[in-house]
Chains A and B, each alone.
Chain A
Amino acid sequence: EAGVVQSPRYKIIEKKQPVAFWCNPISGHNTLYWYLQNLGQGPELLIRYENEEAVDDSQLPKDRFSAERLKGVDSTLKIQPAELGDSAVYLCASSLLDGNEQFFGPGTRLTVL
């Protein structure tokens, strides 16, 4: 069974440029999470989807971050415009709707110059 797929794995951009990350969850997993992980820290939740509905986006900086999960499968996280402080690893995870265990993708490492 394929795991959570994320792309790109690495992205380097200049500040004020837009950037997008893509995630494909494990087949059949209704719940999808986007996390941000700074160096030396644990992941912090940005947004959680149940199917195509964002049920928890309280930690998403909505002035520059946006996310979508059309058709309730794969998801895109966008930053526009990127700032230096956005440099981090962006992790995607998925789980069954009523399941407990989260499965993580490899992450996208973003560097903003």
Chain B
Amino acid sequence: KQEVTQIPAALSVPEGENLVLNCSFTDSAIYNLQWFRQDPGKGLTSLLLIQSSQREQTSGRLNASLDKSSGRSTLYIAASQPGDSATYLCAPRHAGTYKYIFGTGTRLKVLA
């Protein structure tokens, strides 16, 4: 059974810092991995999707890397802004299924 862990559980940083959010998963037989953002009281917004054959994906100030063999993914946020404050969730999709297993998230607060 796939288990997904996200570290740290919570993070508070001053504006402008570069951030690293970590995601680890126990079953490396994944098809892809998706990073989401969730604002309080809202649904999830897809940020980046990395295929199992890829090493990284970039969108603006966000960069996600994937090391499938070691069961790890990292989300880098460059030059953080108060608007980045949210919970960030990672979700690997098991190979051969459409089932995503979500981590419990990292709650990020960027202080102005």
Instruction: Give the number of chain B interface residues (Cβ < 8 Å).
Output: 24
How many A-B contacts are there with CB distance less than 8 Å? 52
Partner of B34, one of A6, A91, A101: A101
Q: A102-B46, A106-B43 are in contact. Are A44 and B34 (CB under 8 A)?
A: no
Q: Could you list some 24 contacts between A and B, CB below 8 A?
A: A4-B43, A42-B103, A42-B104, A43-B44, A43-B102, A45-B100, A48-B98, A48-B99, A56-B97, A56-B98, A91-B44, A93-B44, A100-B49, A101-B34, A102-B46, A102-B100, A103-B46, A104-B44, A104-B45, A104-B46, A106-B42, A106-B43, A107-B42, A107-B43
Interface residues of B (CB under 8 A from A): 4, 31-32, 34, 36, 41-46, 49, 51, 89, 91, 93, 97-100, 102-105
